[in-house]
Amino acid sequence: MITTYDLTKRFGDMLAVDSLDLSVGAGEIFGFLGPNGAGKTTSINMMIGILTPTGGRVELAEIDVAKDPTKAKSITGYVPDQPNLYEKLTAWEFLMFVANLHKVEKGRAEKKAKNLLEMFELIDRADEQLGGYSHGMRQKVVIASALLHEPKILFMDEPTVGLDPASARLVKDILRELASEGVTVFMSTHILEIAERMCDRVGIIQKGRLLAVGNMDDLRQAAAAKGAMKHPEASTLEDLFIELTGGSDYAEVSRYLEG
Amino acid sequence: MDRTLLILGVELRQAFRAGSSADGKSSRAKRIARNIMGYAVLLTIAVFMGRGAYNIAANLSEELAACPNVVRTVWVNLMSGLSLGIFIMFFMTGVSVVYQTLYESGDLKFLLSTPTPAGSVVAAKLIVALVRNLMAIVPFMYPVWVGYGAGSGAPVSFYIMSLLAIVFAALLFTAVVAIFVMLVMRIIPTQKMRQIIMIGSLAVGFAFVVVFQVFNAKMARSNGLDTAQLAQAAQGWGLGNTWYLPHVWVVKTALLTTSEFGFSFAESLLPLAVTAVGAFASVIGLSTKAFLAGWSAAREVEKGRKKPNGRRRRRALLRIGRKVAGDDLAEGVSPALSDTMIRRHVSQGWGIFAKDLTILMRQPVIWYSVLVALVASGFYIYNMSYGMRSGDVGSMVGLMKDIVLFVLVMMSTISSSQMAGMCISMDGESLWAIRSMPIEPGTYYNSKMALAMLPGSAVFTVLALAMTFVSDLPQYPLYVSLPVGYAAISMLGSIGLMFDAIKPNFTIRMSGAGGPKRDASKALISMGVSLVGTFLLGVAFAFKGYYSSFSILAGIDRQVATCISVIAFTAIVVAGHVVARSIAIGNIKRMLRGESN
């Protein structure tokens, strides 16, 4: 469903994404992990067609994003890392705006939007302007807008940041249900617990390069191959992440601080 | 004081770095080139205005050399008009600057969370607002004074004093508006009421200033330009009777060191400086009591209807899937949500247009601008109608019709080019929503074009109707003037939109009562091109009225000349649209695909 071929992005002299080759199947939940500035958001932006790659290409459901970005965008939903919204629109107006841009039939869009607003417990405040919403509430509106047109592929950049525990749980439930219906979910996250429990596979990126990709067993093997871990078979994703991204120095400091 | 300077230092650094990117030398070179272009346009306008003022002053001095009292009277009156013009310009642009800088600055949240006293923060922000107001007005006003001084042989000190007078005028205006805004924000309980009171009061203030000017103009007309009467008036000048008006202080301050006028320090610089500095000090004093509470209130948003909160989450949860997708949601279970203009038609172009219109309608500054535009237009129609009668134009009826039409177009274009210049930029930080949607660049352009045309067309319609029913000046019938006006406004709007597509400024905020931050160089280039475009269109359309003045064209038949006028006008409109659309769509395409990152 998502395939990248040698995807590369340079900003001036800085190599943000270096020859990324990835393939994510239909109905799969894929976790994209990496330290700050690793190239996660840049990769997602290229995949959804809002950033032109320096090299390589992206296919979404066999649609070349560079050649037909409009068609590619019509089957994707996107949740950005920052829920910046039109502050003078109400949540209801924003959802109707998004429905218009996706050409969702009027009656269906209204039912779907009401359903989503109810689900996120925003229905009673749907007529308020978004300028008065908290970060978490905006995040919910953005997630609702990404689901409104029933996308085949959902890209989510840190989707649970700012959400209260109940809403974060709700998002997880939604993602599982969508995946069970064949929707592909590609999400970046810093919360390794979410990635470990929810994702079918994860990819770890650092300095623009994909270090490892696969399920937990694959990652353990990759860490074992580096030879630094004593018991890779018992390691958590956090251990593997720190090992693979070279964060062991920080782990030492952390252990020292914890006494 | 130290903290105020520290904040100002950071503001200054940000201003210098504004627009720079991490992309290195090439973008820096582009930025410098764009700035140079902007400054070149600015300089051209300044020279043009200064030169005009110089000519008037030189001619006046030469023709009335025998009557120095008359010359002085005329000067004082003209400078008084200019000074009033400064305050009118402040009213038109400065109010939103003050509000935006004081209540909408992005760093306020951070600054107020530090142990910096509110007074230091407000002082720094007020100085920033002062500088912004000055930068908006000095390039247009000061060259006129300089030209005037040069044409009349004023001493060197005149240039310094006139600049000082403008600075104090700006400080006075900025501080008084800040006091007013702070009090309204502090005292009035609801956001909507605050907006209504603020906008209404400022518009009334503006109307008062303009009406005062109309009264002065009428008095001047009743006196005529009879030399004897002017000389008689010079005995008493009349300015002493209005010693309490700030614009009179400004004139007197500018002329303080010009000996033949004999104004004293006590009636010029002293009241101006004391009032301005006093108002500034009052703002600082008031800030400790009123600013913080008002700033918090400014961030409030009108609440919607409160409904009993049914815990519907779980019931709705299982309906998220694509197959069921809300189909089984019972009608009437959810609270009825308001009908929205955005959803009136299911089309992408309408969606973007209606979204932009909804946002704009909720901008208090837009309503202030509309009120100011109406007052200014009324003033303009009054002056034009009473200043010139149809009988005065004699054989120039045809040309007069064209002049009236294109003056209306020019006035309408000002509001249209302002809107066009921010149509794309207003998507701001929410641009991701547009970029991630399946939108064709052409659709996006068309919807923005409709928005760009809207204010200019509305203003033009009002002006054209008002001129038709109020003035007896020779005019085209509405079935001619309206289509011609709309065509011209649309072309000029498309050029403004093109500039915004070339260099959008996504850092503008369209919230609260704050107006958009304007990109000075882009706004100036856009305005310059609009004025040149209006002139070209006017010259083309008026061809039938002046062609016989050229001996080489005198033999052309009147009907042929009319055809040439219409064809030339249409060709310019079409060519302008084609070029602007092509360039804009190319840039929008790159923007949507992220090529411009």
A89 and B355 in contact by Cβ < 8 A? yes
Q: To which H or E segment does residue A19 belong?
A: strand A14-24
When pLDDT is averaged across residues B573-583 and rounded to a whole number, the result is: 95
| pLDDT tens-digit map of B159-204 | 899 899 989 988 998 898 888 888 877 777 666 656 666 666 666 6
Provide the shortest C-alpha distance from residue A40 to chain B (in Å): 16
Q: In terms of DSSP bridges, do strands A201-206 and A209-214 run parallel, antiparallel, or are they unpaired? A: antiparallel
| pLDDT tens-digit map of B151-160 | 888 888 888 9
Q: Is pLDDT larger for residue B95 or for residue A61?
A: A61
> Looking at residue B12, what is its pLDDT?
76
Contacts of A88 in chain B (CB under 8 A): 358-359, 362-363, 510-511
Q: Does B325 touch chain A (CB under 8 A)?
A: yes
Q: Does B446 touch chain A (CB under 8 A)?
A: no
Mean of pLDDT over chain B: 76
Q: Is pLDDT larger for residue B277 or for residue A243?
A: B277
| pLDDT tens-digit map of B440-472 | 999 999 999 999 888 888 888 988 888 888 777
Query: Taking 90 as the threshold, does the pLDDT of residue B575 lie above it?
Result: yes
> Looking at residue B78, what is its pLDDT?
73
DSSP label at A190?
S
> Looking at residue A190, what is its pLDDT?
77
When pLDDT is averaged across residues B227-254 and rounded to a whole number, the result is: 63
Q: To which H or E segment does residue B349 belong?
A: helix B348-361
Q: Does B24 touch chain A (CB under 8 A)?
A: yes
- Range of weakest confidence among A1-15, A69-83, B8-22, B244-258: B8-22
Q: Give the confidence band of B9 by pLDDT, cuts at 50, 70, 90.
A: confident
When pLDDT is averaged across residues B236-253 and rounded to a whole number, the result is: 69
Q: Is-contact B522 B111, C-beta < 8 A?
A: no
| pLDDT tens-digit map of B92-109 | 667 777 887 888 777 877
Q: Does B312 touch chain A (CB under 8 A)?
A: yes
Query: Taking 80 as the threshold, does the pLDDT of residue B278 lie above it?
Result: yes
B322 and A178 in contact by Cβ < 8 A? yes
When pLDDT is averaged across residues A49-59 and rounded to a whole number, the result is: 92
- Strands in A209-214's sheet, in edge-to-edge order, are A76-79, A153-157, A184-188, A29-33, A201-206, A209-214
Q: Give the confidence band of B578 by pLDDT, cuts at 50, 70, 90.
A: very high
Contacts of B506 in chain A (CB under 8 A): none
Contacts of A96 in chain B (CB under 8 A): 340, 342-343, 351
A86 and B430 in contact by Cβ < 8 A? yes
- Range of weakest confidence among A227-241, B115-129, B299-313, B341-355: B299-313
> Looking at residue B152, what is its pLDDT?
80
Q: Does B558 touch chain A (CB under 8 A)?
A: no
> Looking at residue B132, what is its pLDDT?
84
A192-230 burial, b for 16+ CB within 10 Å, e for fewer?
bebbbebbebbbbbbbbebbbbeebeebbebbbeeeebe
> Looking at residue B193, what is its pLDDT?
59
- The span from the CA of B256 to the CA of B269, in Å, is 8
When pLDDT is averaged across residues A44-68 and rounded to a whole number, the result is: 92
Provide the shortest C-alpha distance from residue A157 to chain B (in Å): 12
Which residue ranges make up each domain of chain B? 2-298, 342-593
Q: In terms of DSSP bridges, do strands A29-33 and A201-206 run parallel, antiparallel, or are they unpaired? A: parallel
Contacts of B592 in chain A (CB under 8 A): 50, 69
Q: Is-contact B546 B402, C-beta < 8 A?
A: no
Of all residues in chain B, the percent with pLDDT exceeding 70 is: 70
Q: What is the dihedral of CA B433, B339, B513, B492, to 10 degrees?
A: 70
- The span from the CA of B4 to the CA of B592, in Å, is 41
- Selecting from A76, A97, A127 the residue whose C-beta is nearest the C-beta of B338 gives A127
B313 and A119 in contact by Cβ < 8 A? yes
Query: Taking 70 as the threshold, does the pLDDT of residue B6 lie above it?
Result: yes
Q: Is pLDDT larger for residue B55 or for residue B381?
A: B55
> Looking at residue A76, what is its pLDDT?
94
> Looking at residue B510, what is its pLDDT?
45
Could you tell me the end-to-end alpha-carbon distance of chain B, in angstroms, rounded to an integer?
Answer: 40
Q: In terms of DSSP bridges, do strands A14-24 and A29-33 run parallel, antiparallel, or are they unpaired? A: unpaired
Provide the shortest C-alpha distance from residue B530 to chain A (in Å): 30
Query: Taking 90 as the threshold, does the pLDDT of residue B411 lie above it?
Result: no
> Looking at residue A116, what is its pLDDT?
92
Nearest to A150 by CA among B284, B321, B538, B228: B321
Neighbouring residues of B504: CB distance < 8 A, sequence distance ≥ 6:
B424, B425, B591
As given in the structure block, the two tokens for residue B490 are 């649309």
As given in the structure block, the two tokens for residue A162 are 């700012």
Contacts of A65 in chain B (CB under 8 A): none
Query: Taking 50 as the threshold, does the pLDDT of residue A46 lie above it?
Result: yes
Query: Taking 90 as the threshold, does the pLDDT of residue A146 lie above it?
Result: yes
**Residue A60, phi then psi, degrees to nearest 5:** -120, 120
- Range of weakest confidence among A55-69, B123-137, B238-252: B238-252
Query: Taking 50 as the threshold, does the pLDDT of residue A70 lie above it?
Result: yes
- Selecting from A88, A102, A111 the residue whose C-beta is nearest the C-beta of B438 gives A102
Query: Taking 70 as the threshold, does the pLDDT of residue A109 lie above it?
Result: yes
A100 and B346 in contact by Cβ < 8 A? yes
Q: Does B20 touch chain A (CB under 8 A)?
A: no
Query: Taking 70 as the threshold, does the pLDDT of residue A111 lie above it?
Result: yes
As given in the structure block, the two tokens for residue B29 are 């070179």
Query: Taking 60 as the threshold, does the pLDDT of residue B322 lie above it?
Result: no
Contacts of B428 in chain A (CB under 8 A): 84
> Looking at residue A78, what is its pLDDT?
94
> Looking at residue B204, what is its pLDDT?
65
A50 and B593 in contact by Cβ < 8 A? yes
B337 and A92 in contact by Cβ < 8 A? yes
Nearest to B253 by CA among B263, B244, B243: B263
Q: Does B323 touch chain A (CB under 8 A)?
A: yes
Residues of chain A with CATH 3.40.50.300: 1-75+152-214
CATH 3.40.640.10 fits A1-75+152-214, yes or no: no
Query: Taking 70 as the threshold, does the pLDDT of residue B131 lie above it?
Result: yes
As to burial, measured by CB atoms within 10 angstroms (0-12 exposed, 13-18 middle, 19+ buried), residue B399 is: middle
Q: Give the confidence band of B318 by pLDDT, cuts at 50, 70, 90.
A: very low
Q: Does B347 touch chain A (CB under 8 A)?
A: yes
- The span from the CA of B411 to the CA of B395, in Å, is 26
Helix, strand or coil, per DSSP, at residue A18? strand
Distances in whole angstroms, Cα of residue B273 to Cα of each of B172, B178, B211, B249, B377: 8, 17, 26, 9, 33
Q: Give the confidence band of A158 by pLDDT, cuts at 50, 70, 90.
A: confident
Neighbouring residues of B128: CB distance < 8 A, sequence distance ≥ 6:
B8, B11, B101
> Looking at residue B398, what is its pLDDT?
74
Neighbouring residues of B574: CB distance < 8 A, sequence distance ≥ 6:
none
- Selecting from A89, A98, A114 the residue whose C-beta is nearest the C-beta of B329 gives A114
Q: Does B26 touch chain A (CB under 8 A)?
A: no
| pLDDT tens-digit map of B513-555 | 334 445 555 666 666 777 788 888 999 998 888 888 788 877 8
DSSP label at A39?
S
Complex confidence, ipTM: 0.86
Q: How many CB atoms are located within 10 Å of the residue B207 CB? A: 18
Size of interface A-B (CB pairs under 8 A): 205
B343 and A120 in contact by Cβ < 8 A? no
As given in the structure block, the two tokens for residue A218 are 């694959």
